[in-house]
A and B are shown apart, each in its own frame.
Chain A
């Protein structure tokens, strides 16, 4: 009974991550006529796949640099500084996370030509900057102020800042790695930019294109080549993740620390405001303003923008997109719940017994969602196991939730395992001496200290699931989501009601996590 939740979570990982991924790997060497290395051999000749891979890497590096600059600076000037308004600008660092990258792309594309490589890198960098901002802020809050003061005393203010930078390097690196992984995995934004006349492509796009055209004039080797190209890449990202986890494990124990002293910005006090305002303007304000303008009628030329136009847009949006919005909401809620339920036993096992479980849980983060989606479809669309249950699990909400949970499990599992590690082992051992059934210990002793982290993880997963596009376009069961409809709609110039749906989606992403937080009297900062 005590091991049942862990076994269930491991079974889930095996079923929804390892099995599909293994199937995908096997498929690259299992041709229609038996075992073959043709697909691997063809990779060298598939210039498209290699060019796309190179473009993805360049895009990842460029976008991550933007994320580092925007997110890192935001955290640097808002945590422990005398920045005017820093007290509320700092916690707002997490807010742009609710804005899906495709919305950021819509916002940028509306005000400037966004067809080239650099605009794409810029907007993806903006979209993923919250990862850096949130983790850097967490790092800064975790630094022992006394150690910083010691460095300040001995080496002066400037050297102390360098010391601080080194102290939060693991968190900065982790944030950059997340931004990098999300940029590489993003298929939606580069695909959206094709409507703007983009002339270069990423490997996630290549995967999607080949997958969609798998039955239309492609050979086995051609069909497999983007997957073949992706696999070593995914393995490389896995190694990066492993390195990041090791780095984090070697970090100091930051259980009880004195906060950083309030550091004066001096004559930069007011100019420094530019960092958070740019970060928030690019990450939230611009997309929201553009979406609002769309709703008001900015994307058409028949009549001027007006509230009456917005009303029409709203009615169209409700008419067209309400079921999708609700589907998105239930899907995100289901995913958040399932992910937390799975992550709790996994995190405990990883933190207390099997540190390698952390890597296993983190594996889906290295996979482009498109690849994960393809693997899931391949593994389950005709699964006799699922068929034996009578209903069509594959086509239902449950399968979509499982797919999403597989994708977002790393965020919850890593958050929770870090939290478990912070809990004193002795308190748990004290529980072992008590003659109570294991479930009573789990519920009364182990769970309560993890609840704040579980809530944070649930919120992050909820928001990420709500904004997920890549998996939504591949998994049939997740097709009817608001973000996918929006991505389709902008192809057809339905910006008016798309703007309203997007704003409603943002409102859900903000309000649903915020309401319980406010009701429970928790501050926004707790989410970051």
Chain B
């Protein structure tokens, strides 16, 4: 049975760090990724959902049950969820099979072995975690989380300690097993690709606050903040300064302030928004390297303290000074406070 998640005005205090207030919902069988840089509160949110951290205020509802409303708290083992930890967090003294049998009282050995087989760990059933690779350990962590048949699966950066060549296999396994069980999954990560591979909806966090949320495709196509554009799309965000009246000064010149835009704006340069231009026609940058591909040649160029991706017909040598120009009209976005609801 899958579990829906509803978080309303959730606040969590952890020392001087404050998370929230956050409000979001994940329907039964939905897949949500909570993304943000280190220190944004992703793991705190996950720990609060799992029951390891108390909510200071607000409500967490798992299915029909209130898991935490700031006063009463459902213990972790009664929330009916599974959690895949960052570094496995396996029990070093137990074999793979024992992990599953301990995690799921009453689980038959055959069923446990079947689950291990699905994860490609059948041959490791009697091995302890100390002898396993990062990928194997994470697979075992996943099996352990799934063994009791949870309605909700929480994933805490599951690919972080996994070698690059093992990641795809693990992603596919996660997707397959979650889809088969129609599991509601909530993933936290700072890795865009990991988020997009495993989730359909995103919540972007920054310094404990929600920057924006919505379907992943919407956020990718129309980020509402420069922060989201930078985080999800790798955009360079150049600070702008206001000159007299409604004019904004940027390295590329002065432009009119978009109507209704808030105070803290950034010039957002997505990959390919900049071309090389004749000397003197725009700001100067320095070539760092050329990316693979020929037409157009994609160049990484240092501009002030940012790196922008510029397109050109030919690749100047690394270190060469070049002039940049905007290909289209400039895109100004608020830094992290979205203007749309």
Q: A and B: direct contact (Cβ < 8 Å)?
A: yes
Residues of A within 8 A of B (CB): 424, 426-427, 429-436, 444-445, 448-449
The answer to the question of B139 belonging to the interface, with a C-beta cut-off of 8 Å to chain A, is no
Q: Is the CB of B78 within 8 A of A426?
A: no
**Could you tell me the distance between the alpha carbons of A407 and B98 in the complex, rounded to whole angstroms?**
39
B87 and A426 within 8 A (CB): yes
Q: Are B50 and A429 in contact (CB-based, < 8 A)? A: yes
Which residues between 89 and 105 of chain B lie within 8 Å of chain A, taking CB atoms? 89-94, 102-105
- Does B204 touch A at the CB level, under 8 Å? no
Q: A429-B50, A430-B83, A444-B102 are in contact. Are A436 and B89 (CB under 8 A)?
A: no
Q: Is B223 interfacial (CB-CB < 8 Å)? A: no
A449 B148 Cβ-Cβ under 8 A: no
**Bound form: Cα–Cα A424–B145 in Å:** 18
16 sampled A-B residue pairs with Cβ under 8 A: A426-B86, A426-B87, A427-B90, A427-B92, A430-B83, A430-B90, A432-B76, A433-B76, A433-B77, A433-B79, A433-B83, A435-B78, A435-B148, A448-B91, A448-B92, A448-B93
For B85, the closest partner residue in chain A by CB is: A426
Choice from B50, B81, B91 contacting A431 with Cβ under 8 Å: B91
Assess whether B51 is in contact with A436, with CB atoms less than 8 Å apart: no
Question: Which partner residue on chain B sits nearest A447 by CB separation?
Answer: B93
Asked if residues A449 and B89 are in contact (CB atoms below 8 Å), the reply is: no
Q: Known contacts A426-B87, A431-B91, A433-B50; can you find 18 more A-B pairs with CB under 8 A?
A: A424-B87, A427-B89, A427-B92, A429-B52, A429-B76, A430-B85, A430-B91, A432-B52, A432-B77, A433-B76, A433-B82, A433-B83, A433-B103, A433-B145, A434-B102, A436-B105, A444-B102, A448-B91
Among B87, B91, B104, the residue within 8 A (CB) of A445 is B91
Q: Knowing A429-B50, A429-B52 are in contact, say whether A434-B103 is a contact too (CB < 8 A).
A: yes
Residues of B within 8 A of A432 (CB): 51-52, 75-77
Is residue B144 within 8 Å, beta carbon to beta carbon, of the partner chain? yes
Please report B residues at the A interface, Cβ cutoff 8 Å. Answer: 47, 50-52, 75-79, 81-83, 85-87, 89-94, 102-105, 144-145, 148
Given contacts A435-B77, A435-B78, A436-B77, contact A430 B89 (CB under 8 A): yes
Please name the residue on chain B nearest to A427 by beta carbon: B89
5 closest A-B pairs by beta carbon, nearest first, are A426-B89, A448-B93, A432-B76, A427-B89, A435-B77
CA distance A436 to B144 in the complex (A): 14
Contacts of A444 in B (CB 8 A): 91, 94, 102
Nearest-neighbour CB distance to chain A for B150, whole angstroms, equals 8
- Chain B neighbourhood of A436, CB < 8 A: 77, 102, 105
Closest CB of chain A to B226's CB: distance in Å?
Answer: 34
A426 to B89, CA, bound (A): 5
Closest to B141 in A: A430
Q: Which residue of B76, B81, B93, B103 contacts A449 across the interface (Cβ within 8 Å)?
A: B93
A433 proximity list for chain B (CB < 8 A): 50, 76-77, 79, 81-83, 103, 145
Which residues in A have their C-beta under 8 angstroms from that of B83? 429-430, 433
| B82 and A449 form a contact (CB under 8 A) | no
Give the distance in Å from the alpha carbon of A86 to the alpha carbon of B139 in the complex: 42
Complex formed: what's the CA distance from A133 to B92 in Å?
Answer: 30
- Given the complex, which residues of A lie within 8 Å of B148, measured CB to CB? 434-435
A434, B47: Cα distance in complex, Å: 15
In this complex, what residue of B is CB-closest to A433?
B76
Residues in B whose Cβ lies below 8 Å from that of A430: 83, 85, 89-91, 144
Bound-state Cα–Cα, A426 to B137, Å? 14
Residues in chain B near residue A445, CB distance under 8 A: 91, 102
Nearest Cβ in chain A — how far from B90, in angstroms?
7
Collect the chain A residues with CB atoms within 8 Å of residue B77's CB.
Answer: 432-436
Contact among B52, B85, B93, B105 for A435, CB-based, below 8 A: B105
Complex-state Cα separation, A432 to B79, whole angstroms: 11
Residues of B with C-beta under 8 A to A429: 47, 50, 52, 76, 83, 85, 89
Partner of B92, one of A426, A434, A435, A449: A449
CA distance A258 to B92 in the complex (A): 20
CB-CB under 8 A from B47, the residues of chain A are: 429
Distance in angstroms from B79 CB to nearest chain A CB is 8
Chain A nearest CB, measured from B134 CB (Å): 14
How far apart sit A426 and B103, CA to CA, in the bound complex (Å)? 15
> Whole-angstrom distance between the alpha carbons of A431 and B52 in the complex?
11
A445–B129 Cα distance when bound, in Å, is 14
